[in-house]
Amino acid sequence: MIGVVAPLSAVPVVREFFELFKTPWQMHSPGCRCDVLLCFDSEVPASEARLVLVFGPQEQPVDRTEGWTLGPVRDGLVLSRGSDRLPLYSACRTFRDAESSTLVEESSTEIAALEKRCGEQKVVRIGYDLTAEVRYLLTQGQPRTFARIPTLDLHIAFVRELIVAHGVPLTEIPPVPEGYNFIACLTHDVDHPRVRNHCCDHTMFGFVVRALFGSVFDWMRGRFSFQQVAGCYRAAFSLPFVYGGWAPDFWNLFVRYREIEKEARSTFFVIPKRGVAGRDAKGRQPAKRAGKYSLPDIQDDLRELVSAGGEVAVHGIDAWCDAASGRDELARVHEFASGAETGVRMHWLFFDEGSPARLEQAGYSYDSTVGYADTVGYRAGTVQVFKPLNAERLLELPMHAMDTAMYYLSYMSLSPSEVKKELNGLVEKAVRLGGVLTINWHDRSLGPERFWDGPYLDLLEELRRRGAWMPTAGEAVAWFRNRRGVSMEGREFSEDRLQGELAAESGAESLPGLRLRTYPGLSRDRQDRQQTPAFTDRPFRSSTRASRKVQEDVPAAA
C-alpha cells in the first residue's frame, strides 16, 4: 500500500495520477499502515513505511534533520534519468554535497534527488513537486520542444522503479490489454470526402497547383515517384469529368481505408454542418475553415462503415467553446454513432482549458483533440487515456501523430522514409509503455495529390507485427474506462489477494481483459543490473457487472 500526503488542493491531481499508475494507494492518516509514503510538498509524518519519497522544491524539516545541503530553486530545468530526459514545468531544487543520484540536472549536472537510510526506513528526497508537474501536463500540455518525450509516463516509471529498487513489492494494473502489447487507434478527420464539392474554390485551385507543380517539385526532391506524378496529372485533368459525373471521385476513399485496414476498426470524425466556419481562438470566423459537404452527401458511406465495425464521431466546429453548439453538432451526427462512447475531435484542433467541461456538458463521453498540429508526440506527456481535471466523466484520448503535421512544408516537411521513422519511433515507445497510440490520417491522404499511402501501409504492417489491438476510438476509451472502474484507493493486499471493485461499462464483455502485473521487489544491487524492473503478468478475471466487488489472487509479497 502507498500512503500519500499532499495539500488539499492537490488531491484531484493525486487521484488522477493513481488512475494512470494503477496500484493500491490511500491518503495517509495517523495510524494507517503503508509500505511506501509519498509526500508531495508536505511535511513528512511519522510512519512505519519502509520507503519515504519526499517531493517538492520547498525546504522541508527532513532536509534540516538529515543535514542535506540545499542548492538553488530554479524553473525550466531538464533532468536526466539514465537514457531518459525529463523536462520540468515547475520549480525544482537541486542538492549539493551528494555523490550520486538517479536524477541529474542536464546542463549543470547538479543532483536533483538523493537518499539516506534512517534506521529501517529509506528516505528519498526529490527536488520537484510531482503534483505540480502532473497538473501542468494535463492542463497546459508540453511545448513543441519536448513533444517527443512521454514526460508524465516517465514520472510514473520513476516512482515505480524507486519503489521496486528499494525492495518493496508492487502490483498494478498496467495500461496493456490482455493478449496484446499495446493499443493503436486509427482515426481519420473527414475534411474533404468529395472533390466534386470543391468547384472553383481555394481547395480546388490549391489541389490543381499542387498536382501539376508540387508533384514535380516532390519528384525532383526524391519524395515522389514518376508514377505518383503521373497519377496527380491524371487526377487534375479528370476534374471536368468528375464534376460531370462521368468519372469516379478520386477523393472518395472510404472503401480504400476499409480494404487496407482489414481487421482494424477505425474512427472517422465528420463535420456536422456544411458551410459553417465557427469561431477561432480570437472569435474570428475564417471562411476557409468551413466544411463543404453535408452529412447526407456521405451517409451511405458512413452506414457502411458502421455496419463493418467502424465508428463515426464528431469533427466539432464550435463545441470547444460553446456547450449548446456542441449539443447541436452531436445531435446531427448521432444517427451514425454506435456504442456507448460518443466522441469528438475539434476541427483545426481548437481547444482551451475550459473545453473538457463544455464538451462533457454537451453530452460527449470522450474527446481526442489534445495533440499537436505541427509536430508529433505527447502533448499531455502520456500514452494513456486520462480524465481532464475539470471533467467528471469525459475522458481524453490524446492524439500522437497527424499526417499533415509530418508532411506539410510549413510544419515538419518530412520525406516518406522520415515519416516512417517517426511513426516507428512512436510504436517503439508504445511497446515499452503500453497505453494507446492514436494516429490521425486524413480522409483524402491516400489519393491524389497527396499519395501518402506508403508510410500508412507500413505503419499498419508494423502495428500487426508488434501485437497491437486496433479498436475504434470509442472501444479504446471504453477499455480504459473499464480499467479506471477498478477501485484501488484504500484497497489492500492480504497475503495472496487483491480486493477491489470493478464498475464496468455496458458492453465491456466484448473488450480485451485487464492484467495484473507484479514486481517482486529487488535489492538495489540486483536492480542496477537491469534495464527495467522484472515483473510477471497474469489475467485479471472478474465479473463485468457494475459495482460488483471482486477478489483476485496475486502472488504473495516477496
pLDDT at 520: 87
| pLDDT, position 506 | 43
Which pLDDT score, from 0 to 100, does residue 508 have?
A: 59
Rounded CA separation 237/243 (Å): 11
Domains of the chain: 1-173+486-558 (3.40.50), 184-194+253-478 (3.20.20.370), 195-250 (no CATH)
Q: For residue 449, give the 3-state DSSP assignment.
A: coil
Q: What is the pLDDT of residue 77?
A: 95
Give dist(CA 494, CA 212) in Å, integer.
70
Q: Spell out the per-residue pLDDT of the chain, length 558, in tens.
A: 899 999 999 999 999 999 999 999 999 888 788 899 999 977 888 888 899 999 999 988 888 888 888 889 999 999 998 889 999 999 999 988 666 677 999 888 889 998 888 777 899 999 999 999 999 999 999 999 999 999 999 999 999 999 998 889 999 999 999 999 999 999 999 999 999 999 999 999 999 999 999 999 999 999 999 999 999 999 999 999 999 999 999 999 999 999 999 999 999 999 999 999 999 888 888 888 899 999 999 999 999 999 999 999 999 999 999 999 999 999 999 888 766 789 999 999 999 999 999 999 999 999 999 999 999 999 999 999 999 999 999 999 999 999 999 999 999 999 999 999 999 999 999 999 999 999 999 999 999 999 999 999 999 999 999 999 999 999 999 999 999 999 888 766 543 455 444 444 444 568 999 999 999 876 555 444 445 568 898 888 654 443 334 444 444 333
Q: How far is CA 511 from CA 386, 421, 478, 481, 544, in A?
A: 18, 31, 8, 11, 11
Other beta carbons within 10 Å of 339: 19
Go through 176-196 and write b for each residue having 16 or more CB atoms within 10 A of its CB, e for each that does not. Answer: bbbebbbbbbbbbbbbbbbbb
Q: Which of 56, 69, 145 is nearest to 110 (CA)?
A: 69
**pLDDT of amino acid 232:** 97
The span from the CA of 143 to the CA of 378, in Å, is: 10
| Residues found in the chain | 558
pTM exceeds 0.75 = yes
Q: For residue 505, what pLDDT is reported?
A: 43
Per-residue model confidence (pLDDT) at position 280: 86
